[in-house]
Structure formats: C-alpha cells, structure tokens
C-alpha cells in the first residue's frame, strides 16, 4: 500500500507542472497581445495596463513568468484584484458556500443516482427502466443554464415552493433547487453507470454461483455485486469534482448563491481577468489534488490496482 | 464537463470488439499491390467465414459485414430515425437559413429590429415573440443555428483527427514515443473542459467561432487519443498486420492503411456524441460571455442576453434553449444508437 501511495504521489509531480505550464502557455504564448485581451472591456488607461503587466509579470521572458506564477501557487499568491484584495482571500471567503452547495449536489446525485440505478438494474426492461433511460438522456442533453432558469422559474417563481434565489433561508431550504440543478447531469451519469456496471456484475459467474447457493437477493446485491460495481462510479466521482465546480459557476450565477462560482461568473462578465485566472487556477489545482485522492481511494477499494 | 466521460466510457466497450474487417479489406483491395491480392483474398475469406460463424445468422449467400450488421441494427431502431430527422432538419436550417427566415429581421441596422416591438409575446406576426431590442426571436433562432452547429462540427472533426493521429502513433510505435505521448495526454487530461476553457478564453481573442473551436480542440483531443491508442495496440497484434509486414510493407503504410482504418471505428462514435457535447459547450461559453462576441450570435449568446428578461418574457430564452437542447439530444441519441449497433457483444 505504501509503495502504491508513493508512486502515485511521484506521478503527480510532472502532471502538476505540465498542467500549470499548459494553462500558462495557452494564455500567454499564443499569437496576439495578451495585454489587450486581458484588459478587454476595461478603460485602457496606463494604470490599468500596468496593473495587468504586474500581475502576470508580462515584461519578463515567458519562462520567468511561468516560474514566478508557479512560485505564486506554492506560496498561495494567486494575484490581487484592482482593489488590492488578494485572490486567495476572496477564495477563502467564498469557498464555504460553494462547498456547501457542491456537497448538497453530491449527496443528491450519489444517493438518488445509486438508488435509482440499483432499482432500474433490478427491473431491467421494465417501464421504469425505459423511462429513466430516456429521462437521463434528456438531463444530459439539457445545458445546465437552461435547466437552471426553467427550474428557478417553475419551482421558485410560479409554484413558489422554494426560494428562487439567494441563501437567506439557509441550508437546506435555499440549497435544494440549485443543488438539484447542479447535480442533474452527474446524477444521470451515476444512474446509468450504476445500472450498467450492476448488470455486468449480475451476469458474472460468481453472482450466478451465489444465486445457485440460494443466498438471499439482498445479500447478493450488497456483498457480491455492489462493491465491484463501485469502481467505475468512484472514477466518475473523481472527475465529477471538476463538473461540480464548473457547474457552480453557472448555478451560483443563476441562483445568486454567493460562492466561488458566483464570483467567477461576475468577474467574467465584468472582465476582471486577474480574478478569473487566479480563481480558476486554484480550482484546477484543487481538481488535481482530488484526482490524486481518488486514485488513492481506488487502491483501497480494489487490491488488483495496488499491485499492478 | 462530465459529458466527456460518458462518451468515452460508452465507446470503450467497443475496443474489445472485433476489428472493422470490411473496411480494412476494402482498403487492401484498393491497393494496387498484386502480391498482396491473393493473400488479401484468403484473409477475406477466412475473416468472412469467422464473422459468419460467430455473428448473426447468414441471410442469403453473402454474409453481412460488421458495418452491414450495424446498419441493419440501426434501421430497426426508431430512435435512430427520430434523431436523424431532427439532425437533418437542424442541418437544413444551418445550411440554408434564408429559406426559413429573412436575415434582415435579425439586425437593427437593416430595420429588422424595432424598439416598438419590445418583448412582444409569440403571435402570428412574431412566431417566437421578440426580444428586448425588438428583434424577431424566430429569425434569430434560425440564423443562430449555423454558428452553433459549425462549432460542433469543426471541433469534433478536428478533435478526432488530431486525437486519432496522435493515438495511432503512440499505440503503433509503443516504447518511448508512447511513453512521451501518453504523459502529454495525462497533462492535457488534468485540465477540465469548462474551467480550462474559461481561463484560456479570458486570455485569448480569436475572431468569430475560432476561440471556442480552439479551446474545444486543444482540451478535447485527449479522449480520442486515448481511445485510438488502445484500439491501435489491439489492431496491430492481428494477423493481417503480420501478413502485411511479411510482405514487406513499410511502417507508415501498415499504420495508415491497415491499422488506422480498424482502430478508428470507436472514435466515430466519440465524434457523434462529441458533436452534441461541443454544441452545448459553445452555448455555455457564449452564455458566460466568453464565446461568440457581438455582432456574431448563436443560441448560446441569445440565451445569455435573454436571461435578464427571462421572468417577463420566457419565450426569449425558451425557444433558442429548446432548439439547443433538441439538437444536443439528437446527436447524443444518434451516438448512443450507433455505438450500440457497432458493439459486437450485443450480437451474440
């Protein structure tokens, strides 16, 4: 186990440098003038241009810029807004709300997705199975902002069941609608994945053997099938972190939830490029760490992977 | 975006299927190499026999090929026909928008938009109502189809082309080339589509649809590359590759004429699903204000500007959103149907 952990940690290092370098190269090494683009939508006064140049060290050679930026990541310096507020402070101030929303969505997609996935797998070919396959495809196809507005309008405004925006009502009341919207696409994937991998496991010899032994259906499901079906779901949930953070930009924007996503949404619209770049960098670093954790969890769940 | 993961996962099942024999053999048949002709014929017979004995019962004298089987499967699926009809209709709108609406209606410069018509509900004059500039939402929706579809088509074509090329090189040569390319793939994989796209689109400004296309291709090619790499590794172990090698075919000839046609099948499915995903991604970036910029517009930018008046005038948002969702759904259903039809495991 220890060797597996160490190996995964070491593999992480080149990916970390590579990914951060990639972001930086895509932003600043392409043809065109990054200063112009980064100050898009802002008054072109010398002070603002100087601020952009300072934030991204644009007067240095490219590779020096990159290392200054990497140094910033390690020391928690992700830049400062024009009002001299550091991006990491904004992040720290707003992350609790986003985590609360993401956790709500995560619980919804996990509990509902796995439960309905099990149900459809057990009732394969039944009317509910067909309905859920169609409904999940529809959820996957609907862009999150479309779903967000429709849900907000229908349940928040028209029916008035839940608050349409803001977090005044606290958790969970204010978080249910945005949580469902944020969870929607991932919920559909978890459902389909659970169903598919359970069906595969149901067809395997050891499950047939367990049935032949006369074990109760519940034991077969819990002890024989579910644990093996969990592996693709865990993989998905690791990648899902990025989907939740990306989705939070839109969901928090629509439902006026004061988290990272709303800050990003507003900063994009106001062309606060330093805040956008800084916050997204933090999120991508968090995503890389999440992926590492999922890899480690993977090793715990499936001994075959540990000894590959 | 999580859609990516499903696209890959659903098609990965294909990689342990059989090679697209027919395609390869057509390829071989076209070759003017007389030496290989006899061998190819022999391989053809053997493969056809093997296919016939393993797959569907033979109807008539000539056994159906894998692609023939797939087409047979597809023809008998209502979902395939429903999604085809939607796709053809949307393509017609995108290619010939002038047949459906008048371009003058979409701009205030040509007098099409009139503030007097501010937020009119749907009526016989304005089928989909009007927006806050008094523009006809129907005309905007018709003319918004082209950029949306163009992004999807171009991005998914380029993604598959780039991903397949890199995947086949990595899988075919193996060794250090594979090691280096696979590490590069890992690095690109560390960048999620939406978050990565936000950062890059904040810093670059390409005209029209090209910024979004660039981001989607740069961040999206890796899934096709991984897929093609694994199918290539499988394809290059097949007998026909050994036969070609024995006949003295060069590496590049084997790679492009023999391995690639067999390895690329699954990525066709990725491309079809990717079309839907990329159309959605363009809309998302445009919705955030990072995609198309004035005066260009697409369904995404329409939804973006409609959000301010959504509660007063839901039609401004619901019509472009409906077209967008229907189009994405059609491509995803099509990809789903194609991948199931191509999956040899289903035919046993």
B233-282 pLDDT tens trace: 888 888 888 888 888 888 888 888 888 877 777 778 878 888 888 999 99
Q: Say yes or no: A266 and A211 in one domain.
A: yes
φ and ψ at B44, to 5 degrees? -60, -45
Between A and B, how many residue pairs show a Cβ–Cβ distance under 8 A?
168
What is residue B123's predicted lDDT score, i.e. its pLDDT?
Answer: 76
What is residue A116's predicted lDDT score, i.e. its pLDDT?
Answer: 92
Q: How far is CA A265 from CA A92, A181, B198, B288, in A?
A: 17, 16, 10, 7
Measured between beta carbons, the chain B residues lying within 8 angstroms of A251 are none
What is residue A278's predicted lDDT score, i.e. its pLDDT?
Answer: 85
Name the CA dihedral angle for A85, A90, A93, A98, rounded to a multiple of 10 degrees: 170
Higher pLDDT, B190 or A32: B190
- Average pLDDT across chain B, whole number: 76
What is residue A1's predicted lDDT score, i.e. its pLDDT?
Answer: 67
Out of A28, A36, A157, whose CB is closest to B311?
A157
Q: CB A142 to CB B325 under 8 A?
A: yes
Q: Which residue has the tokens 């070491």?
A: A10
What is residue A105's predicted lDDT score, i.e. its pLDDT?
Answer: 93
Out of A26, A32, A268, whose CB is closest to B288?
A268
Q: Domain of B98?
A: 78-346
DSSP string computed for A48-97: HHHHHHHHHTTTS-HHHHHHHHHHHHHTT---B-TTS-BHHHHHHHHHHH
B14: confidence class by pLDDT, cuts 50, 70, 90:
very low
Q: CB B190 to CB A291 under 8 A?
A: yes
Asked whether residue A85 is domain-assigned, the answer is no
Asked whether residue B66 is domain-assigned, the answer is no
Buried b (16+ CB within 10 A) or exposed e, B311-332: eebbbbbbbbbbbbbbbbbbbb
Asked whether residue B70 is domain-assigned, the answer is no
A211-225 pLDDT tens trace: 888 888 888 888 888
A306: confidence class by pLDDT, cuts 50, 70, 90:
low
Q: Say yes or no: A192 and A124 in one domain.
A: yes
Q: Domain of A54?
A: 2-73
At residue B264, the 3 state secondary structure works out as coil
Judge contact between A226 and A271, C-beta under 8 A. no
**What is the distance in angstroms between the Cα of A91 and the nearest Cα belonging to chain B?**
15
**Predicted model pTM:** 0.80
Q: Is the pLDDT of residue A285 over 70?
A: yes
Cβ of A297 under 8 Å from any chain B Cβ?
A: no
A308: confidence class by pLDDT, cuts 50, 70, 90:
low
Out of B289, B321, B333, whose CB is closest to A137?
B333
Indicate the number of domains in chain B. 2
CA distance A196 to A136: 13
Q: Say yes or no: B17 and B161 in one domain.
A: no
Chain B residues 50-79 within an 8 A CB cutoff of chain A: none
Closest CA to B206 of B195, B216, B196: B216
B25: confidence class by pLDDT, cuts 50, 70, 90:
very low
Higher pLDDT, A26 or A192: A192
Helix, strand, coil content of chain B in percent (nearest 5): 75, 0, 25
> For position B124, which CATH number holds?
1.10.3720.10
Asked whether residue A84 is domain-assigned, the answer is no
Q: Say yes or no: A27 and A142 in one domain.
A: no
CA distance B245 to B58: 32
Asked whether residue A307 is domain-assigned, the answer is no
A46: Cβ contacts below 8 Å, ≥ 6 apart: none
Q: Say yes or no: A123 and A206 in one domain.
A: yes
Q: Say yes or no: A159 and A279 in one domain.
A: yes
Please give the DSSP secondary-structure letter assigned to residue B344: G
Q: Say yes or no: A24 and A136 in one domain.
A: no
What is residue B110's predicted lDDT score, i.e. its pLDDT?
Answer: 64
Bridge partners (DSSP) listed for residue A80: A86
Torsion sign over Cα B307, B310, B312, B315: positive
Judge contact between B292 and B212, C-beta under 8 A. yes
Residue of chain A whose alpha carbon sits nearest to that of B280:
A143
> Alpha helices, DSSP H only, in B31-77?
34-54, 66-75
Closest CA to B188 of A284, A275, A152: A284
């Amino acid at each position: 186990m220890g060797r597996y952990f160490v190996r995964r940690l070491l593999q992480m290092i080149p990916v970390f440098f590579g990914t951060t370098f990639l972001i930086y190269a895509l932003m600043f090494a392409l043809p065109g003038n990054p200063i112009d683009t980064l100050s898009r939508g802002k008054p072109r006064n010398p002070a603002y241009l100087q601020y952009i140049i300072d934030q991204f060290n644009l007067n240095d050679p490219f590779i020096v810029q990159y290392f200054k930026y990497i140094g910033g990541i390690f020391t928690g310096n992700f830049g400062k807004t024009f009002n001299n507020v550091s991006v990491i402070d904004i992040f720290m101030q707003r992350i609790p709300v986003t985590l609360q929303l993401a956790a709500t969505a995560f619980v919804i997609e996990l509990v509902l997705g796995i439960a309905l996935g099990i149900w459809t797998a057990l009732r394969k070919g039944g009317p509910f199975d067909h309905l859920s396959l169609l409904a999940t495809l529809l959820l996957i196809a609907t862009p999150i902002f479309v779903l967000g507005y429709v849900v907000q309008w229908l349940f928040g405004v028209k029916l008035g069941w839940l608050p349409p925006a803001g977090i005044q009502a606290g958790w969970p009341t204010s978080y249910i609608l945005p949580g469902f919207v944020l969870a929607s696409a991932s919920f559909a994937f978890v459902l389909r994945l659970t169903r598919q991998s359970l069906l595969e496991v149901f067809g395997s010899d050891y499950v047939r053997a367990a049935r032949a032994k006369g074990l109760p259906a519940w034991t077969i499901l819990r002890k024989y099938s579910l644990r093996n079906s969990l592996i693709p779901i865990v993989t998905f949930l690791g990648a899902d972190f990025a989907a939740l953070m990306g989705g939070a930009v839109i969901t928090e924007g629509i439902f006026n939830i004061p988290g990272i996503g709303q800050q990003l949404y507003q900063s994009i619209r106001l062309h606060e490029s330093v805040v956008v770049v800084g916050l997204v960098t933090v999120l991508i670093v968090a995503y890389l760490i999440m992926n590492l954790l999922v890899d480690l969890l993977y090793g715990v769940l499936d001994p075959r992977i540990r000894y590959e | 975006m999580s859609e990516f993961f499903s696209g890959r996962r659903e098609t990965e099942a294909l990689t342990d299927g059989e090679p697209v024999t027919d395609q390869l053999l057509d390829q071989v048949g076209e070759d003017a190499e007389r030496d290989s002709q006899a061998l190819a014929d022999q391989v053809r017979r053997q493969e056809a026999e093997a296919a016939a004995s393993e797959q569907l019962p033979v109807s008539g004298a000539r056994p159906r090929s894998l692609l023939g089987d797939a087409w047979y499967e597809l023809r008998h699926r209502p979902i395939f026909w429903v999604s085809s009809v939607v796709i053809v209709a949307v393509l017609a709108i995108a290619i010939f928008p002038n047949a459906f609406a008048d371009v003058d209606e979409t701009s205030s410069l040509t007098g099409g938009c009139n503030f007097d018509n501010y937020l009119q509900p749907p009526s016989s004059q304005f089928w989909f109502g009007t927006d806050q500039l008094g523009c006809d939402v129907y005309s905007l929706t018709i003319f918004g189809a082209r950029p949306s579809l163009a992004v999807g088509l171009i991005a998914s074509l380029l993604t598959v082309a780039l991903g397949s090329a890199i995947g086949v090189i990595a899988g075919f040569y193996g060794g250090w080339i594979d090691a280096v390319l696979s590490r590069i793939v890992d690095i690109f994989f560390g960048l999620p589509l939406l978050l990565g796209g936000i950062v890059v689109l904040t810093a670059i400004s390409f005209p029209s649809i090209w910024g979004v296309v660039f981001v989607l291709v740069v961040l999206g090619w890796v899934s096709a590359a991984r897929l093609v790499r694994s199918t290539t590794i499988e394809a290059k172990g097949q007998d026909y590759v050994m036969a070609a090698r024995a006949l003295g075919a060069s590496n590049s000839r084997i790679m492009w004429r023999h391995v690639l046609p067999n390895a690329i099948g699954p990525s066709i499915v990725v491309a079809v699903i990717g079309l839907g995903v990329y159309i959605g991604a363009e809309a998302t970036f445009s919705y955030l204000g990072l995609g198309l910029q004035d005066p260009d517009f697409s369904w995404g930018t329409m939804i973006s500007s409609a959000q301010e008046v959504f509660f007063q005038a839901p039609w401004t948002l619901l019509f472009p959103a409906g077209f967008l969702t229907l189009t994405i759904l059609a491509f995803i259903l099509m990809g789903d149907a194609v991948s199931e039809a191509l999956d040899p495991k289903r035919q046993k």
